Amino acid sequence: MHLDLETHKSLDDVRQFLASTPPGAALALERKQAYEHLSRVLRRFAYWKLGKADKGLLRGYLQRTTGLSQSQLTRLIRRYLAEGQLADRRQGAAKPFRRKYTGADIELLAETDELHGTLSGPATLALFQRAWELFGDARFERLAGLSNGHLYNLRHSRRYVQRLGAQQPTRPTQVAIGERRRPRPEGRPGYLRIDSVHQGDLDKVKGVYHINAVDEVTQFEGVGSTERIAESYLLPLLESMLEAFPFEILGVHADNGSEYINHQVARLLEKLRVQEFTKSRPRHCNDNALAESKNGTVVRKQLGYGHIAGRHAEQLNAFNRDALTPYLNYHRPCYFPCEQVDATGKLRKRYRRQDIMTPYEKLKSLPDAERFLRDGIDFAQLDKQAYQYSDNEAARRLNEARDELFRVIRGEAASAA
């Protein structure tokens, strides 16, 4: 990048430059160019004659315009004052190694993390591979071959750092509804784990409730919001959520919360021809672990922990339906276990990088997957939705929709106050 030094002739010019340039916008000049620029600035402003405050101002300017670290800058200034010049001392074989991943790659990594909420390393690498191989984005060519270990090195780099600068427990019930066991999907989609997430209280007023339903085999997910956990509010939402899945629902599993373990929900599932209704066993905390983990990694990550009034349930459902659910099912990579029996006969689950995929990809990968789809739905229709946007574009649209949602919520709260 070209730097016009003629516009910075006084300390006031330097102050104006620093005030108008964001802290993360270092120019990161090449070594030779940075040395020449540093020498000219020190000579032009007679650095050795300045007071402590002006020296600090000039050091901040040099750090901003060269991209050098504070320790590098201190060392070079000391050398210039001692020798009167700066030269690259590295010769021949001492030249630095050529960097494989550029500053632009680090910026792209930071952008992807910002859009998707900083997923795990393997899931982020899966996004890079999809961007390069599936969506043909040439910017991701190098990152598609990035290793998991070096991804975390890049996340700790200075450039990356500069770029990114109480749940209510469910109530147990003794109602003899639902079979107390774990579901047994046997590789078939349509067995949902379901749980509720409460969005906080404010002045003894209950916030909105989120209903989170996750398919055990494919991790297809649906999120809904309701003003209250009551029959008149919950049942219509639950019915619309179950019918939104592209495959037939064969079973529903819940913990022992009374919002699900009741006769009204049982009649609804019977009406929808859901074959199995199961509930968690006592002292088996993993029975509903999939839904619990999605509560934290999806619902809380997207909607936070702060109070949201129940009157916003309709707006939240529009956001869930139009932005959040399509992103989760078609663009957010998930871990899927590889089950192996060890020498002792114990079943072991391993999570391998090659098994990371989106829920939709997992659905399509099942043997004879078309037979699981609902009548009137085929993969040609679903492909149009899955590949309409790239992963990053879908995440960008999700973030914009969420920002607009919270602007409306905060605006109404401010006007009410």
Q: Kindly report, residue by residue over 236-278, the tens digit of the pLDDT.
A: 888 899 999 999 998 888 887 777 777 888 888 888 888 888 8
CA distances to 54, 203, 273, 274 from 248, rounded to whole Å, are 71, 42, 9, 9
Mean of the per-residue pLDDT values of the chain: 85
Q: What is the pLDDT of residue 415?
A: 66
Instruction: For residue 183, tell me if it sits in a domain.
Output: yes
Report whether 217 contacts 241 (CB < 8 A): no
Please tell me whether residues 222 and 294 are part of one structural domain. yes
Is the pLDDT confidence value at 406 over 80?
yes
* Interval 319-364: pLDDT, tens: 999 999 999 999 999 999 988 888 888 888 899 999 999 999 999 9
Look at residue 328 and tell me if it is in a domain.
yes
One domain for residues 62 and 14: yes
150 with 223, same domain? Answer: no
How confident is the model over 279-298, as a mean pLDDT?
83
Task: Specify whether the CB–CB gap between 211 and 254 falls below 8 A.
Answer: no
Cα 395 to Cα 114: distance, rounded to the nearest angstrom: 9
Strand partners, 373: 247
Please check whether residue 171 lies inside any domain of the structure. no
Statement: residue 3 has pLDDT above 60: no
Q: Are residues 145 and 203 in the same domain?
A: no
Distances in whole angstroms, Cα of residue 158 to Cα of each of 28, 102, 148: 12, 13, 19
Decide: pTM greater than 0.75: no
Are the beta carbons of 88 and 31 closer than 8 angstroms? yes
Distance, CA of 69 to chain centre: 30
**Domain containing residue 138:** 103-163
Residues 220 and 353 in one domain: yes
Query: Based on the domain organization, do 194 and 123 belong to the same domain?
Result: no
Q: Are both 43 and 128 inside the same structural domain?
A: no
In a domain, 250, yes or no: yes
233 and 356 share one domain: yes
Is the pLDDT at 29 greater than 70, yes or no?
no
pLDDT-based confidence at residue 111 (cuts at 50, 70, 90): very high
pLDDT: is 224 or 166 the higher one? 224
| pLDDT tens, residue by residue, 36-63 | 888 888 888 888 888 998 898 899 888 8
In a shared domain, residues 240 and 385:
yes
Mean local confidence (pLDDT), 93-118: 84
Cβ atoms within 10 A of the Cβ of 144, count?
A: 16
Asked if 331 and 302 count as a contact pair (C-beta separation under 8 A), the reply is no
Q: In the chain, how many domains are there?
A: 3
The stretch 155-178 carries a mean pLDDT of 65
Instruction: Let me know if residue 58 belongs to a domain.
Output: yes
d(CA 236, CA 190): 19
Considering 119, 136, 163, which residue would you say is the last residue of a domain? 163
In this structure, the answer to whether residues 408 and 375 fall within a common structural domain is: yes
pLDDT of residue 200: 83
**Partners of residue 253 on adjacent β-strands:** 193, 278
214, 291 Cβ separation under 8 angstroms: yes
How confident is the model at residue 168, as a pLDDT? Answer: 39
Q: Do 315 and 362 belong to one domain? A: yes
Contact 152, 121 (CB under 8 A): yes
Residue 215 domain-assigned (yes or no): yes
**Which residue among 163, 189, 205 closes a domain?**
163
Q: Is 95 among the domain residues?
A: no
CATH of the domain at 264: 3.30.420.10
- Rounded to an integer, what distance in angstroms lies between the CA atom of residue 255 and that of residue 281? 8
Same domain, 108 and 22: no
